[in-house]
């Protein structure tokens, strides 16, 4: 009779061991596959970020906060805003330790390495309110950075070739000049010492450096419509410099080499020629009104020169006689008697200058000289067979006590009558002469029968007198 078989342990069951091994392997592979998206059964903090462009961000990419891993991108889907704009929706699975993120946090897609990998950088804000689990971050809180490959793609192939050649040229220019670069760096030390106050001045709010850049932005914006014109200008400059390259050596080279001595000479001679430059500036300033009339006067002057060119040949005889007269006058002017006469004339002119300066306004402003000559001519207008008679009128004064006929200590102010009245006399009237009131008092004094008036009356009498005409 066979004995009853004993129960075997699990370790002796190869089928069960193989099944358990296969199950553990499947679970391990599954966990390894899903590790980037977070381990199962582990609580997570989910957010949905609206972005204008996912910028090559994809499933499984990291989400970092301050350089530390904070979660992963679980998926990237297409979505639309309420206005119908197409956007990307970044679905994030974050660690619970970062929950909740402030509502003013920034989400930026950045380049992880030089091979094009991307990650999502979260810059936490300072708001006291945070995003709840499963919340949607609005479009305005996300953005992307300009990658190096995008920067290079903005240049056209000819521009890239030019940058390559320029880089090679800079490298060749710096080759073998290491000691010079070291000396230059050492010379920069005083510059950086003095740069501190300059930087503090630039960073001051009173400097308004930000306003300068805003103005520069406005200036650049204003240049946008003429960008094509500027591009053509640069192309034309290339043509110009290409033409100058043919004469660069030796002409331009000699000009550049002689420029420093020229500047040194100019600096040394500047104080000497300063009076000449000052006088030249004054002359040009005085000529400015005449130059302003050239558009109108130039055609007239051109016509005059043309007429003179036509008429000059016919004046040859007059020119010869003028030359002969000039020589005669030269010999005559060198005689001692003529020189003495000219000296006396100069002395006479210098002596007459003060009285003429005093009397000239009497005619130019008040017309008194012309009026005097006109009136004195009418004084001698009566003529008889023996000659001219002097016309005059006798002024009679009442010969009675208290009237003007007798001596008195004060001017007569009695009642006006047929042959008497208050005294009016102005022995030195204002004639607009230097030092006087700018008025023509003689002949414009008012007459008052109630009181006497001696000298220039008060108030301004004006500068209008009788106008004389030809034939009067």
Residue 419 pLDDT greater than 60, yes or no? no
Residues with Cβ within 8 Å of 95's Cβ and at least 6 positions away in sequence, in order, are 44, 45, 70, 71
DSSP 144: E
Nearest to 127 by CA among 109, 106, 97: 106
Tell me which residue range forms the domain holding 72.
43-153
Q: Which residues are registered as beta bridge partners of 121?
A: 64, 108
- Quickly tell me which residue has 């029968």 as its tokens: 449
- Per cent of the chain over pLDDT 70 is 82
Residues with Cβ within 8 Å of 385's Cβ and at least 6 positions away in sequence, in order, are none
Residue 110 pLDDT greater than 60, yes or no? yes
Residue 1 pLDDT greater than 50, yes or no? no
285 is a domain residue: no
pTM of the model: 0.32
pLDDT (0 to 100) of residue 158: 84
Domain boundary among 138, 153, 168: 153
pLDDT (0 to 100) of residue 27: 64
The angle formed by the CA atoms of residues 71, 73 and 75, to the nearest 5 degrees, is: 150
193 is a domain residue: no
Residue 221 Rama label (left phi>0; alpha psi -120 to 50; beta): alpha
pLDDT (0 to 100) of residue 175: 81
DSSP 249: I
| SS3 (DSSP) at 137 | strand
- What does the chain come to in residues? 472
DSSP H or E segment with residue 201: helix 178-203
Let me know if 439 is exposed, middle or buried by CB neighbors in 10 A (0-12, 13-18, 19+): buried
Domain boundary among 123, 153, 183: 153
What is the per-residue pLDDT across 56-105, written as a single tens digit (0 to 9) for each?
788 888 899 988 888 989 889 988 888 888 888 999 999 888 888 999 99
What confidence tier does 152 reach under pLDDT thresholds 50, 70, 90?
Answer: low
Distance CA 136, CA 404 (A): 118
What is the per-residue pLDDT across 434-455, written as a single tens digit (0 to 9) for each?
888 889 988 888 888 777 788 8
What confidence tier does 282 reach under pLDDT thresholds 50, 70, 90?
Answer: very high
What is the per-residue pLDDT across 216-237, written as a single tens digit (0 to 9) for each?
888 888 888 888 888 888 888 8
183 is a domain residue: no
Residue 37 pLDDT greater than 60, yes or no? no
Give the pair of three-digit tokens for residue 71: 């979660």
| SS3 (DSSP) at 460 | coil
- Number of folded domains in the chain? 2
- Quickly tell me which residue has 């008060």 as its tokens: 458
What confidence tier does 325 reach under pLDDT thresholds 50, 70, 90?
Answer: very high
19 is a domain residue: no
Residues with Cβ within 8 Å of 271's Cβ and at least 6 positions away in sequence, in order, are none
Q: What is the mean pLDDT of residues 13-40?
A: 62
Residue 155 pLDDT greater than 60, yes or no? yes
113 is a domain residue: yes
Give the pair of three-digit tokens for residue 404: 């003007």
Q: What sign does the dihedral 124-126-131-133 (CA atoms) show? A: positive
What confidence tier does 350 reach under pLDDT thresholds 50, 70, 90?
Answer: very high
Contact criterion met (CB below 8 Å) for 51 and 80 = no
**Which segment of 157-166, 297-306, 419-428, 451-460 scores lowest on mean pLDDT?**
419-428
| CA 50 to each of CA 73, 88, 103, 191: distance values in angstroms, whole numbers, following the listed order | 13, 6, 14, 48
Domain boundary among 153, 184, 202: 153
pLDDT (0 to 100) of residue 392: 72
**Range among 144-153, 366-375, 376-385, 447-456 rated most confident:** 366-375
Residue 157 pLDDT greater than 70, yes or no? yes
Let me know if 109 is exposed, middle or buried by CB neighbors in 10 A (0-12, 13-18, 19+): buried
What is the per-residue pLDDT across 383-413, written as a single tens digit (0 to 9) for each?
777 776 777 777 666 666 656 666 777 776 6
Residue 160 pLDDT greater than 90, yes or no? no
What is the per-residue pLDDT across 116-138, written as a single tens digit (0 to 9) for each?
678 888 999 999 999 998 899 99
pLDDT (0 to 100) of residue 105: 92
Q: What is the mean pLDDT of residues 326-334?
A: 88
Give the pair of three-digit tokens for residue 200: 């503090």
pLDDT (0 to 100) of residue 258: 87
347 is a domain residue: no
| SS3 (DSSP) at 255 | helix
Residue 464 pLDDT greater than 70, yes or no? yes
319 is a domain residue: no
pLDDT (0 to 100) of residue 351: 94
Residue 106 pLDDT greater than 80, yes or no? yes
114 is a domain residue: yes
Please count the other Cβ atoms lying within 10 Å of the Cβ belonging to residue 412.
16
């Amino acid at each position: 009779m066979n004995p009853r078989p004993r129960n075997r342990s699990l370790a002796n069951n190869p089928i069960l061991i193989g099944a358990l091994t296969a199950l553990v392997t499947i679970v391990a592979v599954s966990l390894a596959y899903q590790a980037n998206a977070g381990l199962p059964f582990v609580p997570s903090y989910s957010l949905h970020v609206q972005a204008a462009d996912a910028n090559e961000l994809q499933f499984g990419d990291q989400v970092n906060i301050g350089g530390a891993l904070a979660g992963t991108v679980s998926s990237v889907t297409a979505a639309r805003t309420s206005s119908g704009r197409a956007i990307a929706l970044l679905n994030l699975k974050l660690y619970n330790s970062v929950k909740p993120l402030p509502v003013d946090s920034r989400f930026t897609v950045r380049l992880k390495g030089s091979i094009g990998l991307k990650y999502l950088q979260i810059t936490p804000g300072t708001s006291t309110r945070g995003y709840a689990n499963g919340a949607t971050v609005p479009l305005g809180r996300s953005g992307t950075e300009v990658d190096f490959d995008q920067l290079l793609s903005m240049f056209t192939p000819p521009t890239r070739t030019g940058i390559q050649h320029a880089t090679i040229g800079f490298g060749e220019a710096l080759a073998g000049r290491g000691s010079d670069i070291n000396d230059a760096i050492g010379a920069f030390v005083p510059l950086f010492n003095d740069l501190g106050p300059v930087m503090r001045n630039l960073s001051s709010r009173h400097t308004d450096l930000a306003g300068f850049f805003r103005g520069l932005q406005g200036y650049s914006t204003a240049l946008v419509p003429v960008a094509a014109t500027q591009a053509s200008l640069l192309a034309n400059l290339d043509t110009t410099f290409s033409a100058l390259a043919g004469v660069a050596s030796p002409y331009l080279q000699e000009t550049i080499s002689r420029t420093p001595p020229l500047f040194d000479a100019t600096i040394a001679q500047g104080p000497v020629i300063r009076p000449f430059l000052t006088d030249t500036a004054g002359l040009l300033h005085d000529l400015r009104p005449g130059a302003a009339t050239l558009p109108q006067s130039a055609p007239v002057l051109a016509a005059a020169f043309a007429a003179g060119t036509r008429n000059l040949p016919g004046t040859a005889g007059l020119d010869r006689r003028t030359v002969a007269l000039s020589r005669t006058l030269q010999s005559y002017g060198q005689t001692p008697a003529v020189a003495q006469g000219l000296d006396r004339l100069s002395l006479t002119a210098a002596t007459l200058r003060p009285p003429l300066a005093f009397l000239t306004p009497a005619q130019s402003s008040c017309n008194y000289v012309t009026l005097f000559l006109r009136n004195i001519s009418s004084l001698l207008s009566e003529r008889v067979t023996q000659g001219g008679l002097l016309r005059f009128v006798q002024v009679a004064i009442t010969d009675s006590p208290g009237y003007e006929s007798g001596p008195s200590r004060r001017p007569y102010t009695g009642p006006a009558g047929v042959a008497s009245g208050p005294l009016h006399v102005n022995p030195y009237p204002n004639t607009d002469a230097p030092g006087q009131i700018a008025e023509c008092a003689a002949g414009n004094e008012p007459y008052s029968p109630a009181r006497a008036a001696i000298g220039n009356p008060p108030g301004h009498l004006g500068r209008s007198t009788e106008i004389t005409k030809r034939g009067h």
